[in-house]
Structure 1
Amino acid sequence: MKESRLGDFEETVLLLVGILGESAYAFKLAEEFESQTGRSVSIGAVHSTLSRLEDKGFLTSEMGQATAERGGRRKRIYTITAYGQRALEISRDLKVSLWRQFPPFATDYNVRIRIQEI
């Protein structure tokens, strides 16, 4: 059976793949990670995480067209699979459940959810 859990960095990279859509390639993902989190990341860490996520079945990839800006080289473009989307939903639901149970935040969080539902 394939691994279905996501580590924190894996989850963030998988979310960024979804956000970037057709622009989800390693270098752009690293740039977006740094922009969104304010933390630096090595391109090697991004590549190994993308490979791991693909091995787990959370992503697929294909080679894009060669571009002049990359000296005629092609980019590997990543796409989230249905299995990857489900893994993100499970991760989100677990975290929301935990936040709702954490006393200092539970009341405030539940009140905001109820207000948004109105």
Structure 2
Amino acid sequence: MKTVIQCIIFLACAALYTSQINPYCQCVKTIKGVNFSLIADVKEYGIRPYCNRREVIVILNDEKSRCLDPKQRFTKALLLRMRTKKANAAKMNTTSPRTTTVPSRVSPTMSATVVPSST
């Protein structure tokens, strides 16, 4: 009976712990790189009050996430590539002033009259 109560208390504590947001660093273990073609998105987090290191998280096409080491050349190149990609996308979304021409129309009250020529 005592073991059953301990198991129930343990399960209740585990359920409470996992239901709360973990306010610590998301990256416990980092990798050096990932294939560029597998990357769907990149998230970069700076130093925060509850995490004292910079984190770079890559979301893959199969919706899995991997943590990259921000000091690696691969990660620096990836971040540069993503920033330039976003900057180019922002440039494409801005509209430039254009002049448009409106086609001339003949009003219905004015019609072309044919004048017979005298020969």
Q: Which has the higher helix share?
A: 1
Q: Which has the higher contact order (CA 8 A, sep 6+)?
A: 1
TM-score (norm 1): 0.33
- The higher radius of gyration belongs to 2
TM-score (norm 2): 0.33
